[in-house]
Structure 1
């Protein structure tokens, strides 16, 4: 699978933004397996881009295509299998179920497409230091713990592209690097791409292509 971005620009941005951005207003093709880093200062449209790529918002000019499928023309029934089998995401605002436990948040996702076993899920939580939180309500966990839940949740399905919107913003260096290593292993096992958007360059992400938004 490949992801093609053609002359993309949020409708609320002036066209002059395309002069300084390496993404907005450009023709870009990302192939499955590439590691994409997007350096995106505050106000540059980072979260908008990630939401555009996931089909959550369509207030943009230009086109986004997964292979030959134009995401703007896809209805919810068409988007569902794309998200189920090909594109996973960690939202900046996480979007966990706050009144469900950590275990329930993960199991709900796992059952939608049983790519990993319950034992593998438990292994991931232990590895990221949240194994003791499985029976805690998500809303009672710290934001850093919730980020790790959201990261694991995104890894519980097949994907060709993994979209990450500031996935380590509330993690210290050790926890960030542990999470990044797990993400890289899961992406490699699928020969999948990672699209990581953050405010600054993350030195421990071994990107193959770098863009400034």
Structure 2
């Protein structure tokens, strides 16, 4: 699955963006399948907006987001839903944890959405142990700390099949040890599937051997 940007510019940020240099906005960009991509994005430059465009939940832009050489807008709703189930997974900055559900139920939403779950229940337990959230699996989402929510959201994104993992500041509320644990798990899962990721963050980091770096 190839993702390309063709002179993409957010309408709400257009004037601000065109006054500064960007390696993403208003340029042709191709994300190579299977590559690990870092996008360094200072606050206010459209980091979360870009993630929403890549996942096609916002369309207030000029230019195009191309998936397999076709604009997102040319795909049917069913085709987009299928891609989100099988080819593209996402970790939103706001995490989108359902507070009325337990942590495990939040994870299961993604694990069982296909007729044959991609990951086993045992695999979920293994991931939870690696990220130190086993003890909160049966707690409601509303009782979780932000760091616990972030780790649950990471696991939830990993239990579905994907060719691309899109992440918006995925380690922002984790201490160094837990961030490194999460990064190692993400790296292992992506390499095992020969999948790529696009990660946006505020700073430089050395948690991954990135194939590409961009400044937003």
Q: If the TM-score is normalised by the length of the shorter chain, which range does it land in?
A: over 0.9
- Give the aligned partner of residue 108 of structure 1: 109
List structure 1 segments (4+ residues) > 6 angstroms apart after TM superposition. Answer: none
RMSD: 1.2
- Give the aligned partner of residue 2 of structure 1: 2
Give aligned pairs, total: 213
Report the secondary structure of 2:112's partner residue.
Answer: helix
Matched, 1:210 2:210: no
- Give the aligned partner of residue 139 of structure 2: 136
Report the secondary structure of 1:42's partner residue.
Answer: coil
Q: Which runs of 5+ in 1 are unaligned?
A: none
1:84-142 CA deviation, whole Å, 9 max, x = no partner? 11100000000111110011111121101310000000100011000111110011010
- Give the aligned partner of residue 97 of structure 1: 98
Provide the rounded CA distance (Å) in 2 between the counterparts of 1:12 and 1:102. Answer: 35
| Structure-2-length-normalised TM-score | 0.95
2:169 to 149, 166, 191: 166
Provide the rounded CA distance (Å) in 1 between the counterparts of 2:70 and 2:150. Answer: 31
Q: Which runs of 5+ in 2 are unaligned?
A: none
Matched, 1:17 2:20: no
Provide the rounded CA distance (Å) in 2 between the counterparts of 1:58 and 1:143. Answer: 29
Provide the rounded CA distance (Å) in 2 between the counterparts of 1:163 and 1:119. Answer: 25
- Give the aligned partner of residue 124 of structure 2: 121
| Structure-1-length-normalised TM-score | 0.96
